[in-house]
Structure 1
Amino acid sequence: MGTASIHEGVRRMRFSDLLERTEARELTQEGAAELLGVSVRTFQRWAERYEAEGDDGLVDRRMGRRSPRRAPEAELERMLGLFRDKYADFTVKHFHEQLQKRHDYVLGYTVTKLALQAAGLVRKAPKRSAHRKKRPRRPLPGMLLHQDGSRHVWIEDLPAMDLIVTMDDATSEVYSMLLVEEEGTASTFLALREVIGERGLFCALYTDRGSHYFLTPKAGEKVSKTQQTQVGRALSHLGIEHIAAYSPQARGRSERLFGTLQDRLPKELRLAGIKTVEAANAWLKAHYIAEHNAAFAIKAEQQGTAFVADRHEAWREALCVIEERTVANDNTVAWKGRRLQLPESRLRPHFVRALVRVHEYPDGTVSVFLGPHRLARFSANGQQISPDASQPGSVLGAVKDKPWRARKRASLTAPARAAVETTRVGTEKRASNRTKKPARRADQTAPSMA
């Protein structure tokens, strides 16, 4: 006996009891109808049918009849066939989204789930554990961003890689997704440059305690507040607070996001025919991020944004690896096994023993700075791209012509001769064999002229 039949039997018994009470004038028809949860007119119709047909008149005439709104069997069979043939590893929700997007499917999610469960193709979800209160979200976008990486086989026939995701705490909106071979300083800078370049500077970044994020003097203890990594130095320069998480539970939003992505993203990449990392990164930015945000992002608690535009674009020179180097005697800078040749410059005749800064950007290119001045740019293989301050003449020649002791005492701020030398007007250079007259003779002739 089904649930509907049981409910039907209970309804009959309750109606019979209430009908007797109304006939005995212990209860009005309005009161009896309210107790049954029906209208007065329905109660009257049931009373008429009971008087004419007895108990048979109380049978629900819908029992055993096919509902006119029942899902078409052919459509359900088509759905079950698609699940078996192509989407067997999808969750019901993800499968339903793909049916609507790719197969012109119009039936609802609940009907689909019940049909799959009835066919034995999916199991019912286990009962959830006790509720755990979540940390309140920040009220505005841009107040707190989460960044984390997850290692997984994202693309079929390729080894496991790291997916770097940057997400807003207020809305769970994903701002950046990036597939890399291994998470590190370069991948962090790439993601941050993408977010800040498109949206502006934000207030705080929440990450784990990876070695590229923080320096931890002793394993398992708190991170150092005085020693900074390259990422920490860049964030501090931009005025962004860097917050460390001390447990996976503290990064609950990131952990739940990666649970969703590990289930969905490999299947989406497979359906899109993506086979390479380059194609995957382009597809993520052009298509998937927007679709993911449309399905999972929520509305912020307050209107507005905490992002601030970086009008001077300081992030371009902050979000990179920066180290100091001393220029060698041949005007070269040592960098990762290569010698970067500095070009001639109007700033000074040479840069021997000058302390310069080397900026290595996430794409592998390198710039050399002296103070605020960029001296040169180099490609990843060490070839000069374009000198920023060129001046005719030979830097090496100027160094060779200068005595060794003078070169040793060369000031780091000495200006180029061409920039300070003044032109003499109305004078001629004396012959080298002519003796210069003493200055006293000029003083003696002054009175006679007067």
Structure 2
Amino acid sequence: TKYIDFNFIHFKEKLLENEKIKISYSVLYNLMSLNQIKSPRKQKLRKKDKSHPLRERHKYFGELLQADASEHLWLGINHPKIFLHGAIDDATNTVVGLYFDYQETLNGYYNVLYQILKNYGIPMTFYTDKRTIFTYQKNNSKNEEKNTFNQFSRCCNELGVEIITTSIPQAKGRIERLWGTLQDRLKNELGLAKVTTLEETNKFLKEFLPKFNKHFALPIDYNNSAFVDAPESDKINLLLSITSTRRTDNGSSISFANKKYLAYDNKKLKVFNSKTNVTIINAFDKTLYLKYENKIYNLLEYIPTVKNTEKTLPK
């Protein structure tokens, strides 16, 4: 019963991988048919949309990546829905990054982009929905951290990655079909592995993704790749960040998240004029930095010394 929700092909693979039972698909199919067992996939009615014919693949690996997020009961009906963020290469069907989060978030897409940069390099183009996480929408809020154009799009702009958006789901059919496959396979694999937490899901993906690509992706021609070399790790950490503008006070400190900070350069305090505009960088690893005139400074929390104001009592 542990394979009850697996389609026949997936079931056949698991029999060999986990149970060491080798059986042909035709024999398995006949056995299932004799016992009146249908594949879960066959029981799902599917309607083909013929108004959007299949688009020709791009020629080069990394030339175009389709990115999206899928809300689903990934951990089963006894757990709330969570979001799987992902990107797939248009030329090879290689899934270049996957990451779970509770909502569709900047953090989710940053983690996907981190995997891409570390494993493959800088792609040429992202192709995705017209959502605020990827496109500019005027934000009247003073909270710059919530303006996603100043975050993901800024990051892509600094990397030289173009973002193309579409409002038609069928236009990014590769990743839409990927979600269908993953909602079938990955969900069952997570259940089989008894994964129940968000942290466990992302840990599981590290093992799952290479196997998935080996099974479904086309061969990669690295000699004709559109990916270019990624920056060093410390630069990636600063690029995948949340930036915001602040002004220094009279004591050269700045306020951020209800705390005060001072900037240091090689352990030497950086002194600013009052009301100097600076950029706060909340890096990918959650470390805080200050940027001023294209120079990066370390930020340390400023905790004022409490003076002893207690009066001496007369004897």
**CA separation of 1:95/1:354 partners in 2, compared to 1, >3 Å: closer, same or farther?**
same
CA distance in 2, matches of 1:234, 1:144: 17
Contact 2:61 2:221 in 1 (8 A): no
Confirm whether residue 364 of structure 1 aligns to residue 286 of structure 2.
Answer: yes
Match of 2:277 in 1: 355
Q: What TM-score, normalized by structure 2, do the two folds share?
A: 0.81
**CA separation of 1:316/1:130 partners in 2, compared to 1, >3 Å: closer, same or farther?**
closer
**CA separation of 1:279/1:122 partners in 2, compared to 1, >3 Å: closer, same or farther?**
same
Shift of 1:343: 4.4
CA distance in 1, matches of 2:242, 2:188: 36
Q: 1:111 aligns with which of 27, 39, 53?
A: 27
Confirm whether residue 328 of structure 1 aligns to residue 257 of structure 2.
Answer: no
Confirm whether residue 340 of structure 1 aligns to residue 261 of structure 2.
Answer: yes
Confirm whether residue 94 of structure 1 aligns to residue 3 of structure 2.
Answer: no
CA distance in 2, matches of 1:301, 1:341: 49
Q: What TM-score, normalized by structure 1, do the two folds share?
A: 0.58
CA distance in 2, matches of 1:121, 1:348: 72
CA distance in 2, matches of 1:179, 1:324: 29
Q: 1:154 aligns with which of 70, 74, 79?
A: 74
- Sequence identity, in percent? 26
CA distance in 2, matches of 1:203, 1:267: 34
Match of 2:191 in 1: 270
Match of 1:122 in 2: 38
Supply the AA of the counterpart residue of 1:109. Answer: Y
Residues 99-129 of structure 1 deviation map (CA, whole Å, 9 limit, x = unaligned): 1111122221122122212321106677985
Confirm whether residue 317 of structure 1 aligns to residue 238 of structure 2.
Answer: yes
Match of 1:376 in 2: 298
SS state at 1:334 partner: strand
Supply the AA of the counterpart residue of 2:99. Answer: L
Q: 2:59 aligns with which of 130, 139, 154?
A: 139
Contact 1:170 1:301 in 2 (8 A): no
Residues 280-299 of structure 1 deviation map (CA, whole Å, 9 limit, x = unaligned): 211211x1001111111113
CA distance in 2, matches of 1:152, 1:127: 18
Contact 2:238 2:284 in 1 (8 A): no
Residues 387-414 of structure 1 deviation map (CA, whole Å, 9 limit, x = unaligned): xxxxxxxxxxxxxxxxxxxxxxxxxxxx
SS state at 1:342 partner: strand
Provide the alpha-carbon RMSD of the alignment.
Answer: 2.7
SS state at 2:224 partner: coil
**CA separation of 1:209/1:116 partners in 2, compared to 1, >3 Å: closer, same or farther?**
same
Shift of 1:362: 3.4
Contact 1:185 1:212 in 2 (8 A): yes
Residues 357-413 of structure 1 deviation map (CA, whole Å, 9 limit, x = unaligned): 1111234322112223222245xxx589xxxxxxxxxxxxxxxxxxxxxxxxxxxxx
Shift of 1:189: 1.7
Supply the AA of the counterpart residue of 1:100. Answer: L
Q: Structure with the greater relative contact order (CA < 8 A, sep ≥ 6): 1 or 2?
A: 2
CA distance in 2, matches of 1:145, 1:173: 9
Runs of at least 5 residues in structure 1 that lack an aligned partner in the other structure: 1-84, 218-226, 385-450
**CA separation of 1:351/1:275 partners in 2, compared to 1, >3 Å: closer, same or farther?**
farther
Match of 2:143 in 1: none
Q: 1:246 aligns with which of 144, 167, 187?
A: 167
CA distance in 1, matches of 2:292, 2:271: 14
Contact 1:368 1:377 in 2 (8 A): yes
Runs of at least 5 residues in structure 2 that lack an aligned partner in the other structure: 139-147, 304-315
CA distance in 2, matches of 1:326, 1:211: 27
More strand by share: 2
Q: Which moved more, 1:152-161 or 1:348-357?
A: 348-357
Supply the AA of the counterpart residue of 1:276. Answer: T
Point out the structure with max Rg over C-alpha: 1
Contact 1:332 1:342 in 2 (8 A): yes
Residues 191-233 of structure 1 deviation map (CA, whole Å, 9 limit, x = unaligned): 212211222111001111121211346xxxxxxxxx9442112
Supply the AA of the counterpart residue of 1:332. Answer: S
Residues 6-53 of structure 1 deviation map (CA, whole Å, 9 limit, x = unaligned): xxxxxxxxxxxxxxxxxxxxxxxxxxxxxxxxxxxxxxxxxxxxxxxx
Match of 1:190 in 2: 111
Report how many residues are paired.
287
Match of 1:418 in 2: none
Contact 1:139 1:301 in 2 (8 A): no
CA distance in 2, matches of 1:214, 1:303: 32
Shift of 1:183: 1.5
CA distance in 2, matches of 1:182, 1:190: 14
CA distance in 1, matches of 2:232, 2:22: 51
**CA separation of 1:273/1:367 partners in 2, compared to 1, >3 Å: closer, same or farther?**
same
Q: Which moved more, 1:105-114 or 1:250-259?
A: 105-114
SS state at 2:237 partner: helix
Residues 282-337 of structure 1 deviation map (CA, whole Å, 9 limit, x = unaligned): 1211x100111111111358952111113566443222112221111122212233
Contact 2:86 2:97 in 1 (8 A): yes
